[in-house]
Amino acid sequence: MSDDADLINVEVTYALPTQQRIVALQVEPGTTVYDAVKLSGIGKIFPQINCESDPMGIYGKAIRDPKTTVLKEGQRVEIYRPLIADPKEARAKRAAKMKAQKEAEASGT
C-alpha cells in the first residue's frame, strides 16, 4: 500500500428501517465500488448484504456494474435493499383511498 497522500477518502453505507451505518475508509486510487464494499467490512455488520447481487449506487444514483465502477475522492457508496412494495402500486392505492374518502365525504354532506 502506498503512503496516505496517495489514498482517497470514500464512504460505504447501508440502512435498515431501524439502523444505519456509514463506514469511512481510505482506499487506493482505482478502487471499484465492489472493492470498497468488501474492504469496508460492512457485510460483517449486516450479514444480509450480498456483494455479488445487491444493487449499489453512488449518492442515490444506481450503477450498473459495481465491479468496474471506479470511485473518486469523497464519493459515498450506497448498498440498496429490495423494495418492500412497488412504488407505483403504493401511489395508486393511496390515490384510490383519497378518492374514496372524498366521495364518502361528498355523499355524507
Counting other chains too, the contacts that 93-101 makes at CB distance below 8 Å and 24 or more residues apart are: none
Does a structural domain hold residue 99?
no
| 108 part of a folded domain | no
In this structure, what CATH number is given to the domain that contains residue 27? 3.10.20.90
Show the domain range for 68: 4-83
Decide if 103 is inside a domain: no
Can you tell me which residue has the cell 365525504?
A: 105
Q: What is the rounded distance in angstroms from the CA atom of residue 14 to the CA atom of residue 1? A: 27
pTM: 0.72
Instruction: Tell me the per-residue pLDDT of 25-50, one tens digit each, with 9 for 90 and over.
Output: 999 999 999 999 999 999 999 999 99
* pLDDT (0 to 100) of residue 38: 96
Domain count along the chain: 1
76 lies in some domain? yes
CA 85 to centroid of chain Cα atoms: 16
Q: What is the pLDDT of residues 49-108, one digit of tens each?
A: 998 999 999 998 999 999 999 999 999 999 998 766 667 777 888 888 888 888 888 887
Q: Is 3 helix (H, G, I), strand (E, B) or coil?
A: coil
The reply to whether 104 falls in a domain is no
22 belongs to a structural domain: yes
